[in-house]
Structure 1
């Protein structure tokens, strides 16, 4: 990675819709300022959050650890938002109701719970499932819903259908909880009812009592935000996502937001309204020559997106000067948190977009190098941020760009739809990481295999592709350890003497190709192919220790930069980034870095006995296979002699499980040699040593044609792969056994049929008279057999005559 000039990094910029040369506010230095829109913390983090956070983490690591920029990464946490406000009220009102009811005498509590549950169920049906009568009972709900919404349930996945399916599912859960309480009021726990019906109870309670919640008690709302903020960061740590250098929270910047808005008003780009809200004036902004919107010009008149951005003020368009104007400050309604403001005695709260403008400006100033987020934030959120920040910072003498580059990550799709909390079609990060095939590393590999700004569908195919890539890297590292294990450092070969060898030429090309890929807007799919192809070449080439060290060092560093080698980061990323392949790396140091990648290793106590026993096994297998049945058992016994001395010198040989296993295998080989066992028995003993004895010690021998067996630590992915391989082999054996049994049954049936003398073939209740050959002349009723029927019977007779004759001949031969 030695370079004499700065890299020509190009970034796909959402502002220009094309790749542009990376420019920054610090043209002579390496400092880069970066602001990203973080989570709105009102629910469990899901894989959609993982997609954006992990992809941005990869880009950040590449900027910092590959290109060497000093990145200052700032992320906000939106902790005051319509969804958080609503969730806070829901939790507060729901908890209050549950405590009130559970404090009552049991019969009264059940009656009250059923009454509230029925009213809430009716309210939810009226608002979300209009094709159903609001009088539909919990007991009849499922049948009625499937009848009324059959087209939705069975239809193609669309956003509209997904929302209806969500409402159908929500009502189904509530109906089941309510029906259970109605059926067995004395045995059904009230806690089960409240949990199952909460998603219909909460909106109903908020409809009745939401406006009565104390708007000055911010803890009702911040408790929700703090809870899910912690969940978010816990999940980010599980995904090996770096913490932000600075984390900002909206509620900590409220006074700054008020001051910021006042300046925009003073410059003529915003106006207060009678209700205490403040709106950004798009017409005044455009009159000064500023275009709007810049990121998504075609979405300007998309009322649905604008309404989503306005939240609780979406139905107040009448008080705005223009439909496209957006809220900088919202007049708080009853039941919503409020902060002091100069525009209303009742106070208010910030608009969604102003939060990020103020926090980014306060921490990073008037010019930010990179602003990022998910692609759904382009409009209206980032377009509105850009407009109000430009209005704040720009002057006629000095127009301010505010952001040099906007980058947006693509969505994570599930069944063709965007993963979304509002659609409740999401898989939480914690749920995903509980699945054996969705590890932190496997998810990151999947995201690396897709473009960071493109949509990714998590499918079995992409998971398999990611597993195949990881397996290829694993095999390379295991091979590297195997080659290096005999040496603590470099041999007398110098790297300079090998620089022109194919291995070093391939490494230089891989480095150059990967550098070009990363300069090309962080093209990680191309980078992953380059790494995989290079590793493939290494896996099929006999490499010296020097070549292995150089290749391993480079691959280890790149996968660590990508965030795939969590445990090795301190050691690997502490090295000099300008790796020209000439560094005198010690094999033992690199070995520890590779172990950090692999997450498993052969215990030190196991290495001497296991490698010795593995060599004996290789020698025995090679000898038996080459002997072709003509085994010299004295020669076989002699093969075991070389390990005997080593095992005797090991301390506590019978106490250590590895030494004991190796000694037992040595004894077994001597025994089968003395008993003159068959080749099959000897090879079976070798297989048992691999598949049973070492497997139980979490060690696996991978047999390789023409090479010694590879000694591997038995980690979870390998166990899973071996289990799948064995299951497939067992299924194949079972299928073969079944086919043999079916064929045997068919042959038995054919033999039984062939035994029948043709004269007896038709002697049954279907016929009443036969000729001298035994062919029927009359049926069971006494009617004469027709000519056509007789022709068929004659053919059957002649066929039976043939097979019966063959059977008799076979019996005579046997």
Structure 2
């Protein structure tokens, strides 16, 4: 059997997967920075990670230890927590929007403009007038956004940042321009400018030893993150590590790197020494060496709160912080270098080394983490584990395989919390009318249909393709469940074994191709195509045996569950959740469907009489509130059927009754009866395809009716015009200046100049007079009739 091939970012190619210890594959995944709700970009990363984890553990049967960190203290959390704290404090102190609140917000608005101008200067972005009033800004906002869109920039990342800043100012004007505004609405609109303004004024009041406000925010969003992951059916980590719980290990890790000669202290901060590492034979920026001199990426890696003073004493611009000396407004921990906090990158090295050790099989994260985060992790971790004998350093590879998940783009833009251009996972799961499970499955299918390491653009076609694939499986599972039910009651249906066609060979081939796809660096797009193609083969075949069909259904159930498209299946279960009608409905709808089948069959055969006896189930005496709608549907149908029999109704009336039950009453209950020629109707829940089919039919019927009405109107108008024309008597129609002489019937003999009418023209005029005689006769009939 071919080995598993994995695309390894360290090698920039596919390589065989050879775990250090096949009895325990180790995997460390970079987790979230918890200062806001997770968005669909995060979903793409963590769902894709979850899918690969499931493939390795459930398809290839590798035991695994999966570790994920929670970054619960860093620049983003510190800033967000502080700003939220100060705005909330200000709002509590000023519950009424008075002149002080407005003047403070106006000052914040002007300060924000100044900071925007400072940032935009040199980036070829439009600058703002410093004395611009909120009202002026509202009027100019559209023009400014147009200028941003048309600007020629050295970095496209600056454009969405500019849009975000301009939108923040525009939202603030809604507060400042309003009168008698509700305080909650005011602060919601103004917080974008108030947050940095109040933070800059009050951050010095924060006690660095009191981590409460930072921990409170981190815990809140960590809980929400895991709720989102649960909703997406992402497996929980085997071990979750948090930065704030690892301060001792992080300090020890920094001390060891410094002791090994690859770090130095300056003014209370500790810096990784890239030159010393490379001089000892190490390699820096192994994942993305082309980015090692990218100043913007390096600055982003150091964090938004890093300032020039904090970097005093760095030996090289490329060196990065392992430990940052304490600054006002930030949480701090005691260390050998003074009060401070961990750098961003060291947290993962310390935590992964503590839990997994000096070597791990897999390290993963989004592609944006490759440089500088993962490159820095590699360098400092291998420096931590390095050995020095006789003045010679040696180190092994800390990570065997780096897996980087591609970005998610919607309408061409990468989602980013910092740019505030994201759709949260919670919002995305609510889009399917509260059916979070259905939405979660839909998004997982979208991600499965794209290669995990490639960028994924969400377009209407991408979403439609996911829906089509899901609906194809839905209908196949429905047919399989129907077969399963009929086999369990074979005495009631003669065809309990189905046809004679055996698709075992096709199933075995599909299993082989499915395995080959997953061995090819977890090629889930091809794996999903294998499933779809197998269902297509089943759909094309006729008289497939029930045993063969159920074997296919059981295998597909297993693999889609392995992919996380449903919860863990019960023994012998076929399909996935959401394809069956509600449990509360079954006791009423199944008997109702059987009764309807009987009525429909007899109506088609025109064999119903007043005396025909139907096996009509009785309504239970005390249906619950949940079952009441279904119980009523059964009772109403029985009553209407009885009424038709009393009046000796026609077969057409009985068929109308069965159609009304299917198309109106059960449809409104979210249930559909799929009629079949030789089998009972298939009972199924309504889905998007059925609803769309009806909308399309109704649209076509409406268009046809519209065309029919338009044609009738046209005919009516034409008839009206003909009748109007018919008012003129034929003997008067040519009495015009065009002619000078006529016969006794009004037919022209000579033209206006006295010349005789040519024979060819006379022939044409005679035809026109004959037509007018007919029109005039119709006009007289219409007048007489009215």
Same fold? TM cut 0.5? yes
Partners of 1:30 and 1:68 within 8 A in 2? no
Q: For 1:262-661, what aligned pairs fall within 5 Å after superposition?
A: 262-273=255-266, 275-311=267-303, 312-313=305-306, 315=308, 319-344=313-338, 347-395=339-387, 399-436=395-432, 439-488=439-488, 502-541=502-541, 542-566=543-567, 569=568, 571=570, 589-590=572-573, 594=576, 598=580, 600=582, 603-606=585-588, 609-617=591-599, 619-620=601-602, 623=605, 633=606, 635-637=607-609, 644=614, 646-647=615-616
Instruction: State TM-score, norm by structure 2.
Output: 0.85
| Deviation digits for residues 348-402 of structure 1 (CA, Å, limit 9, x no counterpart) | 1111000000000001111111100011000000000001011111336763211
CA distance in 2, matches of 1:407, 1:52: 11
Of 706, 711, 717 in structure 1, the residue corresponding to residue 682 of structure 2 is: 711
**Cα pair distance change 1:622/1:384, threshold 3 Å:** farther
Structure 1 window deviating more from structure 2 (111-120 vs 462-471): it is: 462-471
Q: Deviations over 1:609-661 (max 9, x none)?
A: 235225325524754xxxxxxxxx4x3559965xx2x437x685998986885
Does the Cα contact within 8 Å between 2:271 and 2:323 map onto a contact in 1? Answer: yes
Distance 1:811 1:8 in 2: 90
Larger mean CA deviation between 531-540 and 145-154 belongs to: 145-154
SS at match of 2:316: coil
* In structure 1, C-alpha distance between the alignment counterparts of 2:181 and 2:589, rounded to whole Å: 59
5+ long unaligned stretches in structure 2: 118-125, 492-496, 730-734, 743-751, 754-761
- Of 79, 92, 95, 2:72 maps to 79
CA change 1:725–1:475 in 2 (3 A) is same
Q: Matched residues in 1 for 2:238 and 2:767: separation?
A: 89
Match of residue 757 from structure 2:
none
Question: Aligned pair in 2 of structure 1 residues 597, 514: CA closer, same or farther (>3 Å)?
Answer: farther
CA 1:446–1:806: 2 relative to 1, 3 Å = farther
Match of 1:261 among 236, 246, 254: 254
Measured in 1, the distance between the counterparts of 2:195 and 2:639 equals 72
Encode CA deviations 1:411-438: one digit per residue, 9 max, x unaligned. 1101111111111110011111111177
Return closer, same or farther for 1:276/1:350 CA change in 2, 3 Å cut-off: same
Kindly state the Cα deviation for residue 92 of structure 1 after the two structures are TM-superposed: 1.9
Deviation (angstroms), 1:220: 2.1
Q: Indicate yes or no: 2:113 matched with 1:114.
A: no
Alpha-carbon distance in 1 for matches of 2:151, 2:715: 49
1:8 partner SS: coil
User: Higher mean Cα deviation, 353-362 or 478-487?
Assistant: 478-487
User: What SS is found at the alignment partner of 1:196?
Assistant: helix
Structure 1 distance, partners of 2:4, 2:611, is 60
Q: CA deviation at 1:490?
A: 10
Of 662, 677, 693, the match for 1:690:
662
Q: Is the 8 A contact 1:57 1:242 kept in 2?
A: yes
Aligned residue in 2 for 1:744: 712
Match of 1:127 in 2: 115
What secondary structure sits across from 1:515 in the alignment? Answer: helix
| Closer, same or farther: CA 38–759 of 1 in aligned 2, 3 Å | same
Determine the C-alpha separation between the residues in 2 that align with 1:217 and 1:260: 24
Normalization by structure 1: what TM-score? 0.82
Q: Which deviates further from its counterpart, 385-394 or 211-220? A: 211-220
Q: Secondary structure at the match of 1:136?
A: coil
Would the aligned equivalents of 2:579 and 2:685 in 1 still touch at CA under 8 Å? no
Q: Check if 1:13 corresponds to 2:8.
A: yes
Tell me the SS of whatever aligns to 2:210: coil
Once residues 476 and 247 of structure 2 are traced to their aligned partners in structure 1, the CA distance between those partners, rounded to angstroms, is 54
The change in CA–CA distance for 1:498 and 1:431 in structure 2 (over 3 A counts) is closer
Instruction: Pick which of 147-156 and 684-693 moved more.
Output: 147-156
* Deviation, structure 1 residue 668: 5.9
CA contact 1:758–1:801 (8 Å) conserved in 2: no
SS for the counterpart of 1:341 is coil
Residues 421 and 301 (structure 1), Cα distance of their counterparts in 2 relative to 1, 3 Å cut: same
* 2:747 alignment partner in structure 1: none
Q: Helix, strand or coil: the match of 1:207?
A: helix
CA distance in structure 2 between the aligned counterparts of 1:639 and 1:413, rounded to whole angstroms: 66
Q: Give 5+ residue unaligned stretches, structure 1.
A: 492-496, 573-588, 624-632, 762-766, 775-783, 786-793
Instruction: Report the Cα offset of residue 728 of structure 1.
Output: 2.5
Match of 2:121 in 1: none
Which residue is 1:162 aligned to?
160
Deviates more, 1:356-365 or 1:386-395: 386-395
CA deviations on 1:716-736 (whole Å, 9 max, x unpaired) are xx1x44333333222222222
Cα 1:250–1:91 shift into 2, 3 Å: same
Partner of residue 695, structure 2: 727
Q: Within 2, Cα distance between the matches of 1:661 and 1:434?
A: 30
Report the alpha carbon displacement of residue 205 of structure 1 after superposing the two structures with TM.
1.3
Take 1:651 and 1:212, find their aligned partners in 2: how far apart are those partners? 71
Note if contact 1:98-1:194 (Cα within 8 Å) is conserved in structure 2.
Answer: yes
Q: Where do residues 665-684 of structure 1 align in structure 2 (5 Å cutoff)? A: 680-684=652-656
Partner of 1:584: none
Q: Deviations over 1:38-92 (max 9, x none)?
A: 0001111111111111111111111111111111111100011101110121022
1:151 alignment counterpart: 147
Give the whole-Å Cα distance in 1 for the aligned partners of 2:741 and 2:242. 102
Q: Distance in 2 between matches of 1:552 and 1:710?
A: 20
Q: Is the 8 A contact 1:602 1:699 kept in 2?
A: no
Aligned partner of residue 439 in structure 1, secondary structure: helix
Q: Return the alpha-carbon distance in structure 2 between the equivalents of residues 384 and 804 of structure 1.
A: 96
Of 162, 174, 177, the residue aligned with 2:175 is: 177
Cα gap change, 1:205 to 1:807, in 2 (>3 Å) = same
Q: 1:268: Cα distance to partner?
A: 1.0
8 Å contact kept, 2:449–2:525: yes
Q: Counterpart of 1:220?
A: 213
CA displacement at 1:337 relative to structure 2: 1.3
Q: Is the CA contact 2:250–2:346 (under 8 Å) kept in the aligned structure 1?
A: yes
Contact kept, 8 Å, 1:146 with 1:153, in 2: the verdict is no
